[in-house]
Amino acid sequence: AMEVTHEQHIEEIDNYLEKLGQPTGVMLQIGTRNTQNFELLKAVGRQHTYPVLLKRGFGISLNESLNAAEYLASEGNNQVIFCLRGMKTSFNAPHRNMVDFAHLPIIKRLTRMSVCIDPSHSVGTREASPDGVLDILHSTSQGIIAGANMVLVDFHPSPTDALVDGPQALTLDELPKFIEDTRISREAYKQRVELWAEK
């Protein structure tokens, strides 16, 4: 996802992609601090080329964040993915934010949006539990088992050299286990859905 903070970024992204031969897979991202930037929301909503990843707003309620998605839809862009990335509270320590993935089924019940989880920004560290599993991975599993459609996790070849978000980044060597862990969690989600679908 390419973060957009100003309306002119949309045109800059268009121009750059045109020079590259229109590669696919581009998604615009509206970060947590711009979730209530209504002019930006309208501008991003007016373009229908790219889907939009909308992060939950910083310091606002879930309903207020969902209303931001309405701004995008009101301008015609209905390709919106809502991203849960944790909430800043006085109770989030030792994590960066309070993990809010319990809201995932609520969003799916109230809207038609796909839901992404961002455990990297929720947890914010590479601390491991006594079982040896990183907190980020436990949080990832919580979101997947609750029905997440997409997962956003930071990876870096050398997290200590990363310019931003290094303390929360997984290494590339951890990618194969991460993929297998998400597969296991997804299977658990499917099994739970099947269990509760039985009459």
Q: What is the token pair recorded at 95?
A: 């994590």
49 has pLDDT over 80: yes
CB 52 within 8 A of CB 83: no
pLDDT of amino acid 87: 79
- The string of DSSP codes covering 76-128 is T---EEEEE--B--TT-TTSSSB--GGGHHHHHHH---EEEE-HHHHH-S--B
CATH number assigned to the domain comprising residue 8: 3.20.20.70
CB 66 within 8 A of CB 35: no
Distance CA 160, CA 154 (A): 13
Q: How far is CA 10 from CA 18, 100, 149, 180, in A?
A: 12, 30, 25, 36
pLDDT, tens digit, 9 for 90 and up, residues 57-85: 888 899 999 999 999 999 999 999 999 99
Secondary structure of residue 162 in the 3-state scheme: coil
The DSSP call for residue 161 is G
CB 112 within 8 A of CB 82: no
Q: Mean pLDDT score of the chain, rounded to an integer?
A: 92
pLDDT of amino acid 58: 85
pLDDT, tens digit, 9 for 90 and up, residues 95-140: 777 788 899 999 999 999 999 999 998 888 999 999 999 999 999 9
Note the pTM of the prediction, 2 decimals.
Answer: 0.91
- The total of structural domains in the chain comes to 1
pLDDT of amino acid 75: 95
Closest CA to 51 of 171, 140, 150, 128: 150
91 has pLDDT over 90: no
Distance CA 6, CA 37 (A): 10
pLDDT of amino acid 99: 85
Collect all residues with Cβ–Cβ distance below 8 Å to 67 and sequence separation of at least 6.
none
Q: Evaluate the omega torsion of the peptide bond into residue 94 and state whether it is cis, within 30 degrees of 0.
A: yes
- Domain containing 93 equals 2-197
> According to DSSP H, which parts of the chain are helical?
8-19, 38-46, 62-74, 104-110, 119-123, 135-145, 175-197
